[in-house]
Structure formats: C-alpha cells, structure tokens
C-alpha cells in the first residue's frame, strides 16, 4: 500500500480554526467548507470569506512579531 503524500501527517490547527469560523459566518457546515476548499464544490462566498480570514490572521501574526522581540 502506497503512502498518501498529498496530505501532511500533522493536522493544521490554524486551518481547522479558519474553516470553523468560515462555516459559522457563512451558515454552512465545516464539511462543506472543506469540500469547497478542496474544489469538490463551488461557493465563491465561502472561498472569499476563508481567504479574507486567512489574510487577516497572517497580518495579525506579522504585527505581533513586530511588537514582541523574539530572540
């Protein structure tokens, strides 16, 4: 049996949180958000919401890194 190299072995907590928030904001299930992101279904509103949340999260992380000096 071959290994499935398409998916990483480790679960992404960031991705899971973004999927859950997207589902709540759009009023759909988390499974539907996962299907849309995988390309199995088409829902532009879900994709737009997910991408906006992801960009906002990345900007927040960058700002925190600028404020807190890491050694």
Grouped pLDDT means (10 residues each) for the chain, 71 residues: 65 92 97 96 96 94 87 63
Whole-number pLDDT of residue 70: 72
CA 14 to chain CA centroid, Å, is 6
The residue with tokens 């960058």 is: 62
- Rounded to the nearest 5 degrees, what angle is found at the Cα of 21, between the Cα atoms of 17 and 25? 170
Neighbours of 26 (CB within 10 A): 17
Structural domain boundaries in the chain: 13-67
Whole-number pLDDT of residue 7: 64
Whole-number pLDDT of residue 5: 66
Whole-number pLDDT of residue 4: 64
pTM of the predicted structure, to 2 decimals:
0.76
DSSP character string of 18-43: HHHHHHHHHT--HHHHHHHHHTSS--
């Amino acid at each position: 049996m071959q290994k499935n190299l398409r998916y990483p072995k480790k679960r992404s907590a960031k991705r899971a949180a973004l999927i859950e928030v997207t589902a709540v904001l759009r009023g759909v299930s988390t499974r539907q958000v996962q299907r849309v992101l995988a390309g199995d279904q088409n829902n532009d509103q879900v994709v737009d919401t997910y991408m906006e949340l992801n960009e906002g999260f990345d900007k927040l992380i960058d700002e925190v890194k600028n404020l807190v000096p890491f050694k």
